């Protein structure tokens, strides 16, 4: 893989061996869905292969031996090729490597969507002993076979392989091809583009802000220059495409169950589909297909607004409504992080609505966050759960990030990301209050996961397939501000110093892994006819005596699963990853400020030095497409190391003091003995100064419409400046 030789189904999705032709192929819909929930096969629901966000891998083997092949690294260049089908030229800036079991191609940028590519490997690749790489017997037999003696699938594979061989030969390469394949990348824009159009064009449910039942709260009213208004009780009506709502959870009696999570809450692992259950592909949308909607009384989204205090105006409900409705008043949309919620906006908002500044600052929750938590039907409660649910356990990203970052069902993860983009597009559209030609000035600020979502939301504001990138009327953003975002979401999470261990534990302690261990260690108790609960409970009962064996098997299974998981999940979600969602905003030169947390370590961090981002890694050793740095490169942002008026600003500020959360909180100090940022209060002053630098830079972007950022000598202490660049 990837290889178009597998063929494509009638709906345009990749055809995989053993893929069910329809739900009728199984006795239950749950069995059918399970095929597409597995990270090994979920990409069979996608209309093409990945964009090389995860590296392309070509397996190697020794004939009749398990021996690992040691290849001469210098022989890979010019002999392992990735070729773009339209130009017939090599894809530039690839990184080639081999561990003896596979050849690996890392791409310097995401491949183009819906585009044909060729892979070719020649016998110019040598072992360290000087022997050339050879083709498998099956490869030679395929190329030499009489097409009339092949079935349709084999003829297709033969032709696709020959096309790749020809692409290699057309480059004038002298060696013999020993492996070749053709593959077509997925139409990674099609789902989100069509969701956006369906969201803003839906005549039955256009995105609408309801300000009828708002409450107005005055803050700091005794200090006029610092006084502002919080407006609560507003709601956003916009299409919900996730087939999991509180009403659905109640109806199916959803239970959070560690033994059989999918069986006990199936809709939580479902995903967006067509109105008749179709996979969402370019051919589906080309035939006027629409995404199924799940709008009910529980999908209305609460909205918070922060307004300037204007006596006789915003301090009343009627005045607040009028101020929000007035399209001449500029607005800021804030997007929170993975453990945050819309209330995180309060840490930023007051600087836009005090001291004479008169913005409308607004925020909503993403799915599974804040007021959009779903409660299960267990009727369980304790002091923690009662904060979120009157009854039942909260299905909340704060409680467990995997409820949103759902690798148990990669198509669900893709849907969660798409729904989030749709919601923020809906909020932006609703701020027009029915007049998409009003030209309202709207800015976007996103932090962490919110920064990631902001990249994709910005991209979604542009017209699809326009020769020159132009914003969709009524969706334009005056500036886009991305704080500590990243790309390559699967490897990013696994490579994170803090999130990686959570993800690892989640995989190791999953029901499937624990059952497999129980079947291995307790075969007399755990066999095919026994339930997961019986098997896993027995394993827990014997955990003390089997501790070493359990740990060993967890590590072995995890090591075996992770390469497959990364490839399968990332390939499935490439259409909802920032890595492939930048081309329009780059072409349009969208005014952009990105803040990256780089710390002040050298090659390694010592105690007392500020660490690079410990949540969203800036880069990863195992993949050049992972992290913040490749996103900065893809966005083509310039370094900002001093004050600038180079308008429109498109740049990155690299923060050296603080860490991942410093834009909102001053708590991250330099590294301590734990190998993580210190939480010692003695570092709060420095952290707060860095927070002010970062927030003021974004505020400059907003206030000047990307015409100026002002950094004084105090600010330069907190960021990489020209002195750092010269070193």
Contact 340, 661 (CB under 8 A): no
User: What would you measure as the largest C-alpha separation in the chain, in angstroms?
Assistant: 88
Q: Can you tell me the distance from the alpha carbon of 474 to that of 197, in angstroms, rounded to the nearest whole number?
A: 12
DSSP per residue, 26-39:
SSSHHHHHHHHHST
pLDDT of residue 641: 97
**Tens of pLDDT, residues 631-677:** 999 999 999 999 999 999 999 999 999 999 999 999 999 999 999 99
| pLDDT class of 713 with cuts at 50, 70, 90 | very high
pLDDT of residue 724: 74
pLDDT of residue 69: 82
pLDDT of residue 580: 94
**Tens of pLDDT, residues 471-506:** 999 999 999 999 999 999 999 999 999 999 999 999
In this structure, what are the phi and psi dihedrals at residue 305, rounded to the nearest 5 degrees? Answer: -125, 145
pLDDT of residue 727: 53
| pLDDT class of 302 with cuts at 50, 70, 90 | very high
Q: Pairing between strand 374-375 and 442-447?
A: unpaired
Residues 127-151 have a mean pLDDT of: 90
Report the Cα–Cα distance between both ends of the chain, in Å, rounded.
44
| pLDDT class of 64 with cuts at 50, 70, 90 | low
Q: Pairing between strand 592-597 and 479-483?
A: parallel
Q: Can you tell me the distance from the alpha carbon of 722 to that of 562, in angstroms, rounded to the nearest whole number?
A: 41
pLDDT of residue 222: 78
DSSP per residue, 480-502:
EEEES--B-HHHHHHH-TTHHHH
Percent of the chain with pLDDT over 90: 86
pLDDT of residue 215: 97
Q: What is the mean pLDDT of the chain?
A: 94
pLDDT higher at 153 or 568: 568
Residues 6+ apart with CB under 8 A from 329: 323, 358, 359, 360
Residues 362-387 have a mean pLDDT of: 92
Contact 261, 376 (CB under 8 A): no
**Tens of pLDDT, residues 436-462:** 999 999 999 999 999 999 999 999 999
pLDDT of residue 678: 96
Percent of the chain with pLDDT over 70: 99
pLDDT of residue 725: 58
In this structure, what are the phi and psi dihedrals at residue 93, rounded to the nearest 5 degrees? Answer: 60, 35
> Cα dist. 97→253, 488, 659, 678 in Å?
50, 19, 32, 37
For the cut 60, the answer to whether the pLDDT of residue 600 exceeds it is: yes
For the cut 70, the answer to whether the pLDDT of residue 268 exceeds it is: yes
**Tens of pLDDT, residues 415-437:** 999 999 999 999 999 999 999 99
Residues 391-395 have a mean pLDDT of: 92
pLDDT of residue 65: 67
**Tens of pLDDT, residues 71-109:** 999 999 999 999 999 999 999 999 999 998 899 999 999
pLDDT higher at 223 or 250: 250
| pLDDT class of 347 with cuts at 50, 70, 90 | very high
> Cα dist. 242→28, 177, 281, 373, 601 in Å?
21, 46, 17, 13, 43
For the cut 90, the answer to whether the pLDDT of residue 26 exceeds it is: no
| pLDDT class of 282 with cuts at 50, 70, 90 | very high
**Residue ranges per structural domain of the chain:** 52-184, 190-440, 499-573, 600-726
For the cut 90, the answer to whether the pLDDT of residue 168 exceeds it is: yes
Which pair of structure tokens corresponds to residue 458?
Answer: 């910005």
CATH among 3.60.15.10, 3.10.690.10, 2.102.10.10, 2.60.40.1220 for 52-184: 2.60.40.1220
| pTM strictly above 0.85 | yes
pLDDT of residue 103: 95
The CA-CA-CA angle for residues 15, 19, 23, to 5°, reads 120
Which pair of structure tokens corresponds to residue 140?
Answer: 């030679």
> Cα dist. 143→2, 122, 127, 137 in Å?
18, 15, 25, 10
Q: What is the dihedral of CA 164, 165, 166, 169, to 10 degrees?
A: 130
For the cut 60, the answer to whether the pLDDT of residue 531 exceeds it is: yes
Contact 348, 304 (CB under 8 A): no
Contact 510, 408 (CB under 8 A): yes
| pLDDT class of 27 with cuts at 50, 70, 90 | low
pLDDT of residue 381: 86
Which has the closest alpha carbon to 240: 394, 372, 341? 372
Residues 221-237 have a mean pLDDT of: 93
| pLDDT class of 388 with cuts at 50, 70, 90 | confident
Which has the closest alpha carbon to 487: 521, 524, 453? 453
Q: Can you tell me the distance from the alpha carbon of 549 to that of 359, in angstroms, rounded to the nearest whole number?
A: 60
């Amino acid at each position: 893989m990837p290889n178009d030789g597998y063929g494509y189904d009638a709906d345009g999705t990749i055809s995989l061996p053993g893929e069910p032709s329809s739900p009728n192929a199984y006795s239950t819909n749950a069995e059918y869905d399970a095929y597409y929930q597995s990270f090994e096969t979920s990409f069979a629901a996608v209309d093409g292969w990945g964009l090389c966000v995860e590296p392309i891998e070509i397996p190697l083997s020794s004939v009749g031996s398990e021996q690992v092949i040691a290849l001469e690294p210098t022989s890979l260049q010019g002999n392992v090729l990735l070729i773009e089908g339209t130009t017939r030229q090599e894809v530039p800036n690839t990184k080639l490597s081999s561990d003896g079991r596979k050849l690996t191609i890392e791409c310097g940028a995401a491949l183009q969507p819906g585009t044909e590519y060729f892979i070719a490997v020649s016998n110019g690749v040598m072992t360290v002993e000087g022997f050339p790489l050879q083709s498998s017997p099956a490869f030679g037999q395929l190329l030499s076979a009489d097409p009339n003696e092949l079935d349709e699938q084999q003829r297709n594979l033969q032709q696709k392989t020959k096309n790749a061989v020809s692409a290699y030969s057309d480059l004038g390469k002298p060696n013999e091809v020993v492996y070749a394949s053709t593959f077509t990348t997925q139409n990674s824009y099609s789902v989100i583009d069509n969701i956006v159009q369906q969201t803003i064009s839906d005549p039955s449910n256009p995105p609408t802000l309801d300000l009828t039942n708002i409450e107005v709260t005055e803050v700091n009213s005794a200090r006029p220059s610092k006084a502002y208004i919080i407006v609560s009780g507003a709601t956003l009506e916009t299409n919900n495409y996730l087939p999991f709502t509180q009403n659905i959870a109640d109806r199916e009696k959803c239970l959070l169950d560690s033994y059989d999570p999918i069986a006990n809450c199936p809709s939580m692992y479902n995903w967006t589909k067509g109105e008749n259950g179709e996979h969402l592909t370019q051919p589906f949308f080309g035939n006027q297909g629409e995404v199924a909607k799940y709008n009910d009384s529980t999908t209305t989204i609460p909205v918070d607004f922060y307004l300037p205090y204007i006596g006789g105006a915003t301090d009343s409900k009627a005045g607040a409504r009028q101020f929000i409705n007035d399209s001449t008043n500029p607005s800021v949309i804030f997007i929170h992080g993975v453990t945050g919620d819309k209330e995180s906006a309060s840490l930023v908002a007051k600087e836009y609505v005090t001291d004479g500044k008169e913005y409308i600052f607004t925020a909503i929750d993403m799915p599974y966050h804040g007021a959009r938590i779903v409660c299960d039907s267990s009727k369980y409660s304790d002091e923690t759960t009662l904060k979120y649910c009157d009854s039942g356990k909260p299905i909340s990203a704060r409680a467990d990030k995997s409820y949103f970052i759902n690798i148990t069902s990669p198509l669900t993860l893709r849907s969660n990301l798409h729904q989030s983009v749709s919601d923020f597009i809906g909020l932006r559209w609703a701020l027009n209050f029915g007049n998409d030609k009003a030209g309202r000035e709207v800015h976007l600020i996103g932090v962490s996961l919110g920064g990631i979502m902001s990249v994709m939301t910005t991209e979604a504001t542009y017209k699809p397939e326009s020769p020159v990138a132009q914003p969709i009327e009524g969706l334009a953003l005056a500036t886009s501000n991305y704080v500590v975002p990243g790309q390559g979401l699967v490897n990013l999470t696994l490579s994170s110093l803090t999130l990686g261990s959570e993800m690892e534990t989640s995989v190791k302690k999953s029901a499937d892994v624990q059952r497999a261990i129980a079947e291995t260690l307790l075969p007399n108790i755990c066999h095919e006819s026994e339930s997961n609960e019986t098997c896993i409970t027995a394993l827990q009962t014997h955990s003390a005596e089997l501790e070493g064996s359990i740990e060993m098997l967890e590590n072995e299974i995890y090591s075996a699963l992770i390469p497959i998981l990364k490839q399968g999940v990332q390939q499935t979600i490439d259409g909802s990853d920032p890595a492939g969602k930048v081309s329009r905003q780059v072409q349009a030169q969208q005014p952009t400020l990105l803040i990256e947390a780089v710390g002040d370590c050298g090659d390694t961090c010592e105690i007392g030095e500020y660490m690079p981002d410990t949540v969203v890694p800036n880069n990863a050793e195992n993949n050049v497409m992972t992290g913040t740095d490749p996103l900065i490169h893809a966005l083509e942002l310039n370094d900002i190391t001093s004050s600038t008026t180079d308008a429109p600003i498109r740049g990155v500020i690299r923060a050296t003091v603080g860490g991942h959360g410093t834009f909102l909180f001053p708590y991250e100090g330099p590294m301590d003995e734990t190998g993580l940022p210190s939480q010692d209060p003695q570092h709060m002053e420095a952290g707060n100064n860095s927070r002010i630098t970062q927030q003021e830079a974004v505020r400059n972007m907003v206030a000047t419409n990307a015409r100026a950022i002002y950094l004084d000598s105090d600010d330069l202490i907190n960021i990489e400046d020209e002195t750092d660049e010269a070193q």
